[in-house]
């Protein structure tokens, strides 16, 4: 019925406005797998579906997003979505010159997102859109203001807390007509108001304040952002841990240098008790619901089967339980990118080298009997994660290119999965990857990836391979397998599938096993259980 309404309106829309949007459907049919010790649930068929429809008419834009999770959401998503079938978000937006006003659901970010970011990622099951009012105003070419007020989406419901925020940004370089120096500054405020319930010691309003400064001079650039958060109680998966109040802080510094063929970048971040949710009792939930701020893992984002086994999940929370006491995390990441000059021996093969190093540890904190604590700014806290990796890309001809990757990683897997420190001990793994792609005429291509992981701990050695063949820009097939031959079960995680694209539509399907563990997108991770089944995806945009 909704599709018929859209089609019947297209003629009118061509004269006075236009529609745009899209459809996305992700479905799976789960199957028993004794090797994985996986028993398919009663609702073997699961499906996540999203239909977004927007309409623009001059200065106004309106939209709705309908979502369906019938009979249940995909495995690994929050059970709050199960059986959901309704309009999930809607909005009305007005833009005129420097004024931008939105009512309904909206997404927003202050600075890098360290103090506020609302966004949607369907692969992670995250949609923390705010429902309320957002106003953006550009006073002139160098001053911009934002204000938000609303409640965070929580599946098909809303958070109990109310989020309010203000952000002001100034482009000092533009204000001073400076062509040599680029300077931008900003200040932010975000507050959460929530009734304290029967506990009078809990503050109704918890505020966070942030400042940031970005400077660019020639080939150099630097960014610094700092946030402080008012004292609040801490919770874990719906339960208050204690009535003691703790404040929180965050500091992120980014320095870099870029010129033709060379790029250097260094990031430092320190988070102390810096989880921030629109409902105080949502802290610690494993499905990433009701988040106010954005603290992704600042590590190399890997794309291969085996380099994604040991990934780091950020640890900004304060934990004060008897078996686990931690105050947050501190760490750094370095990146180097270099392209050889064309006139050099390796330049004729368009050789590019990238190197990355990251190290993350817990804050060096000493807890007292009353659960207060003393903490060092950096100190020598327990190591959570260390990664060293190199990548060499060569383009031997217009048709042939290769990528070689080497990684050595050390991780406390228990911490990354949300468990106690040292529950599995440190795991060290070395991974080597060789990738080759050859492009034929008429859009045909062949891609092959060989991978191996060496480790003496956890599940020990793995080997993996991927073969992809594109018959045309429209049709492609793949076969993949990662084999845990060093583990006790000697398990193959095989997958076979393909995709077909035409115009603005793309359909893909695959059958195989899902390796359990963390899936990370953009540094944000969610846990997925092991499973076996048939998966299908359809995306249509208009």
What's domain 296-502's architecture? Beta Barrel (2.40)
Mean pLDDT for 321-342 is 95
Task: Compute the average pLDDT of residues 294-302.
Answer: 95
Among 204, 191, 294, 206, smallest CA distance to 252 is for 294
Element spanning 352, H or E: strand 352-362
* pLDDT on residue 322: 84
pLDDT in tens, 394-405: 999 999 999 999
pLDDT by residue (tens digit) across 198-225? 678 899 999 999 999 999 999 999 999 9
d(CA 237, CA 435): 42
> 């529609």: which residue's tokens?
19
- Give me the mean pLDDT over the 155-179 stretch: 96
Distance CA 399, CA 445 (A): 9
314 DSSP β-pair partners: none
pLDDT at residue 243, rounded to an integer:
83
Least confident range from 240-244, 343-347, 494-498, 535-539: namely 240-244
pLDDT at position 3 over 70: no
* C-beta separation of 357 from 388 below 8 A: yes
pLDDT at 147 over 80: yes
pLDDT at site 198: 67
Strand partners, 95: 100
Q: Nearest 5 degrees, angle CA 360-CA 118-CA 68? A: 115
Decide if 363 contacts 379 (C-beta within 8 A).
yes
pTM: 0.93
Q: Is residue 187 scored above 50 in pLDDT?
A: yes
pLDDT per residue as tens digits for the range 368-413? 999 999 999 999 999 999 999 999 999 999 999 999 999 999 999 9
With a cut of 60, say whether residue 5 has pLDDT above it: no
pLDDT mean over 159-168: 98
State mean pLDDT over 20-42: 97
Domain ranges within the chain, ordered by starting residue: 97-293, 296-502
Tens of pLDDT, residue by residue over 61-90, are 999 999 999 999 999 999 999 999 999 999
pLDDT band at 15 (very low <50, low <70, confident <90, very high): low
CA distance 534 to 517: 19
Give yes or no on whether 97-293 and 296-502 have one common fold.
yes
CB contact at 8 A, 360 and 393 = no
Residue 469, both tokens: 């063949």
pLDDT above 90 coverage of the chain, percent: 88
pLDDT at 9 over 50: no
pLDDT, position 6 = 42
The residue among 309, 291, 255, 339 whose CA lies nearest residue 451 is 309
What are the tens digits of pLDDT across the range 84-128?
A: 999 999 999 999 999 999 999 999 999 999 999 999 999 999 999
Contacts of 357 (CB under 8 A, 6+ apart): 333, 334, 387, 388
The 10 Å CB-count burial string (b at 16+, else e) for 43-53 is: eeebbbbbbbb
Given a cut of 70, whether residue 10 has pLDDT beyond it is no
User: pLDDT at position 16, please?
Assistant: 84
Mean pLDDT taken over the chain:
94
- 446 pLDDT higher than 60: yes
> Does residue 35 have a pLDDT over 90?
yes
The whole-number pLDDT of residue 1 equals 42
Q: Is the pLDDT of residue 48 over 60?
A: yes
Output the pLDDT for position 236.
87
Say if CB 339 and CB 349 are below 8 A apart.
Answer: no
Q: How much is the pLDDT for 4?
A: 42
In CATH, 97-293 is 1.10.10 = no
């Amino acid at each position: 019925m909704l599709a018929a309404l859209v089609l019947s309106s297209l003629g009118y829309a061509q004269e006075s406005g236009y529609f745009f949007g899209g459809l996305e459907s992700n479905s799976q049919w789960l199957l028993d797998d004794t090797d994985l010790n996986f028993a398919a649930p009663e609702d073997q068929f699961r499906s996540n579906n999203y239909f977004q429809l927007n309409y623009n008419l001059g200065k106004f834009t309106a939209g709705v997003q309908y979502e369906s999770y019938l009979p249940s959401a995909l495995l690994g998503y929050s059970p709050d979505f199960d059986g959901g079938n309704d309009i999930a978000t809607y909005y009305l937006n007005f833009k005129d010159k420097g004024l931008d006003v939105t009512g309904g659901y909206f997404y927003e970010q202050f600075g890098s997102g360290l103090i506020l970011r609302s966004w949607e990622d369907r692969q992670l099951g995250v949609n923390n859109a705010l429902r309320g009012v957002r106003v953006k105003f550009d006073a002139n070419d160098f001053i911009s203001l934002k204000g938000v007020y609303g409640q965070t989406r929580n599946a098909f419901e809303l958070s109990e807390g109310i989020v309010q925020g203000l952000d002001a940004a100034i482009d000092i370089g533009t204000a001073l007509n400076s062509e040599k120096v680029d300077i931008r500054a900003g200040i932010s405020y975000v507050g959460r108001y929530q009734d304290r319930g029967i506990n009078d010691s809990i503050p109704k309003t918890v505020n966070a304040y942030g400042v940031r400064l970005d400077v660019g001079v020639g080939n150099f650039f630097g960014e610094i952002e700092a946030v402080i958060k008012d004292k609040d109680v801490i919770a874990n998966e719906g339960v208050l841990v204690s009535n003691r109040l703790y404040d929180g802080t965050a500091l992120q510094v980014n320095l870099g240098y870029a010129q033709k063929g060379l790029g250097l970048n260094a990031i430092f971040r320190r988070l102390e008790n810096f989880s921030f949710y629109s409902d105080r009792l949502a802290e610690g939930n494993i499905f990433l619901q009701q988040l106010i701020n954005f603290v992704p893992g600042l590590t190399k984002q890997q794309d291969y089967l085996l380099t994604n086994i040991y990934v780091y999940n950020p640890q900004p929370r304060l934990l004060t339980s008897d078996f686990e006491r931690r105050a947050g995390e501190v760490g750094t990441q370095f990146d180097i990118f270099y392209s050889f000059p064309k006139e050099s021996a390796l330049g004729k093969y368009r050789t590019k080298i990238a190197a990355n190093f990251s190290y993350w540890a817990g804050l060096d904190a000493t807890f007292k009997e009353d659960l207060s604590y003393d903490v060092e700014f950096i100190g020598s806290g327990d190591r959570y994660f260390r990664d060293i990796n190199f990548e060499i890309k060569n383009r031997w001809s217009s048709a042939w290119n290769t990528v070689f990757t080497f990684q050595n990683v050390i991780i406390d897997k228990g911490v990354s999965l949300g468990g106690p420190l040292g529950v599995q001990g440190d795991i060290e793994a070395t991974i080597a990857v060789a990738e080759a792609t050859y492009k034929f005429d008429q859009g045909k291509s062949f891609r092959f990836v060989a991978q191996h992981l060496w480790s003496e701990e956890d599940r020990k050695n793995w080997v993996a391979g991927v073969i992809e063949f594109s018959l045309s820009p429209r049709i492609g097939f793949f076969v993949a397998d990662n084999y845990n031959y060093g583990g006790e079960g000697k398990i193959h995680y095989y997958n076979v599938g393909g995709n077909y694209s035409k115009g603005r539509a793309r359909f893909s399907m695959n059958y195989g096993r899902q390796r359990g563990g963390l899936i990370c997108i953009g540094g944000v991770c969610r846990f997925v259980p092991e499973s076996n089944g048939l998966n299908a995806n359809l995306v249509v945009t208009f």
